[in-house]
């Protein structure tokens, strides 16, 4: 058995000095105060948390790890290594790879790659197209798949789904969560055309939130919520970016009766449109990072109930690609390695509490998808545990710290006051040690 002690357990809306005992891949005990001599003697492995934070492993339910087909940018191996260095012990990957994950065969291929190479627990969304809706309804095993990803705005791999009848059938009959990327494609195209007429090939990066506008997000999300209300679908709106959209979501806390839920991403909580002048394409993402007022509204929604979970939309690209002009520069940025400490930094700034960070990055992620026995520090749950060390003097992130294949982060030069010290997946230390054999397991889902 292993004991992790001399730290503050942040778990289930409280922060208390305590310890965690693990036995194999399970949590055997969560105790408060200091462990007694008998408990310490019963453990072969004694880990001193050195007055740090002891947290459940982060569950990041929105990543793009680029494998198969885009492995020059990233692989499941490289990005899971970066993720566990950031305290992320489980991830859910999106389907826009090559080939796209829109068939059972493609889904099985990704699961097999992860089984061989991932350091973190894993699962994969299946993507919706105009032609695969019958498969999504009748053939997918949703105890192994968290749900269906729907691109209501442009995407790679032919996954833009803007056919009204197909969407209605999908929302009415798929027996699982439907996660949507919500932007109105026609409005985005029209705005892009206007900017091309004005700037030609030299569109400034600062125009990105005007091209992928508040109105494009509002109109698409409004329609998706309306369709979900009519059909009874279990709808999850990914990476909400605007204050206006927030009024479409209830402010009640996540529960089994909450059928329409929302996600915010770390980048949209950290940056605002003023940062384009400094960072340019490094913060070009879809939907776009918008105004300071939008960012503040999102932060308040995380502290309340309108935003249910916080993820990363981790999407690495090579800097050589990002440094292209606007029309060729791809959207996306890598954040999984630094998401937890960035959220704790925002907590230190008073945006929310550390307990709310754990609720939105760990507890609610598990509850949202019905992930079995993860996301909490509880006896009998999987031993996914993170120790975070305070850094009172602060430390500065650099691109040299990045473990992702892409080798850069938009958070370079940001000063943090926490650092992930150790991470365990299913009771096996995966950071900073590298295990001889990966302990990662496929995620399992119960009805939600």
Per the listing, tokens 């934070």 go with 53
* Cβ neighbours, 10 Å, residue 127: 26
Q: Is 251 a catalytic residue?
A: no
Which residues pair with residue 399 across a beta bridge?
Answer: none
Instruction: List, in order, residues 6 or more apart from 224 with CB less than 8 Å away.
Output: 152, 180, 182, 235, 237
Number of H helices, E strands in the chain: 16, 17
Chain centroid offset of residue 220 CA: 21
Q: Nearest Cα to 429, choosing from 439, 442, 416, 414?
A: 439
Q: How far apart are CA 133 and CA 166, in angstroms?
A: 7
Asked whether the beta carbons of 180 and 150 are under 8 A apart, the reply is yes
Chain centroid offset of residue 299 CA: 16
Runs of H (alpha helix) within 315-424: 319-322, 339-348, 354-358, 364-369
The catalytic position among 93, 184, 294, 313 is 313
Runs of H (alpha helix) within 140-184: 164-173
Asked whether the beta carbons of 430 and 118 are under 8 A apart, the reply is no
Question: In the structure encoding, which two tokens stand for residue 236, read together?
Answer: 């999850």
Residues with catalytic roles: 313
């Amino acid at each position: 058995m292993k004991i992790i002690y001399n730290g503050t357990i942040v778990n289930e809306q409280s922060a208390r000095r305590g310890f965690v005992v693990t036995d194999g891949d399970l949590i055997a005990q969560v105790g408060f105060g200091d462990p007694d001599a008998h408990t310490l003697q019963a453990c072969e492995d004694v880990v001193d948390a050195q007055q740090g934070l002891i947290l459940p492993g982060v569950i990041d339910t929105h990543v793009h790890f680029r494998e198969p087909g885009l492995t020059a940018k990233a692989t499941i191996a490289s990005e899971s290594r970066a993720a566990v260095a950031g305290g992320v012990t489980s991830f859910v990957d999106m389907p826009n790879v090559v080939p796209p994950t829109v068939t059972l065969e493609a889904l099985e291929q990704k699961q097999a790659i992860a089984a061989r190479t991932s350091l973190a627990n894993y699962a994969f969304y299946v993507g919706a197209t105009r032609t695969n809706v019958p498969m999504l309804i009748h053939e997918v095993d949703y105890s192994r798949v968290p749900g269906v990803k729907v691109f209501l705005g442009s995407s790679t791999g032919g996954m833009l789904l803007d056919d009204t009848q197909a969407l209605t059938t999908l929302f009415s009959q798929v027996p699982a969560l439907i996660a949507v990327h919500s932007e109105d494609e026609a409005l985005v195209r029209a705005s892009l055309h206007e900017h091309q007429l004005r700037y030609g090939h030299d569109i400034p990066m600062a125009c990105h939130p005007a091209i992928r506008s508040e109105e494009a997000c509002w109109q698409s999300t409004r329609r998706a919520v309306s369709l979900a209300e009519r059909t009874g679908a279990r709808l999850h709106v990914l990476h909400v970016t605007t204050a206006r959209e927030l009024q479409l979501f209830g402010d009640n806390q996540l529960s089994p009766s909450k059928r329409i839920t929302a996600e915010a991403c770390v980048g949209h909580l950290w940056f605002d449109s003023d940062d384009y002048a400094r960072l340019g394409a490094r913060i070009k993402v879809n939907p776009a990072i918008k105004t300071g007022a939008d960012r503040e509204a999102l932060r308040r929604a995380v502290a309340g109930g309108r935003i249910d979970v916080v993820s990363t939309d981790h999407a690495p690209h090579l800097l050589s690609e990002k440094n292209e002009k606007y029309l060729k520069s791809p959207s996306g940025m890598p954040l999984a390695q630094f998401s937890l400490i960035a959220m704790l930094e925002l907590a230190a700034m008073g945006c929310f509490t550390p307990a709310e960070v754990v609720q939105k990055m760990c507890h609610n992620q598990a509850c949202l998808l019905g992930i079995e026995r993860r996301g909490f520090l509880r006896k009998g749950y999987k031993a996914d545990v993170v120790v975070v060390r305070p850094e009172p003097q602060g430390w500065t992130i650099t691109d040299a710290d990045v473990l992702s294949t892409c080798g850069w982060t938009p958070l370079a030069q940001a000063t943090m006051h926490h650092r992930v010290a150790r991470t365990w997946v299913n009771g096996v230390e995966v950071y900073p040690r590298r295990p001889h054999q990966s302990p990662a397991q496929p995620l399992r889902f119960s009805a939600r």
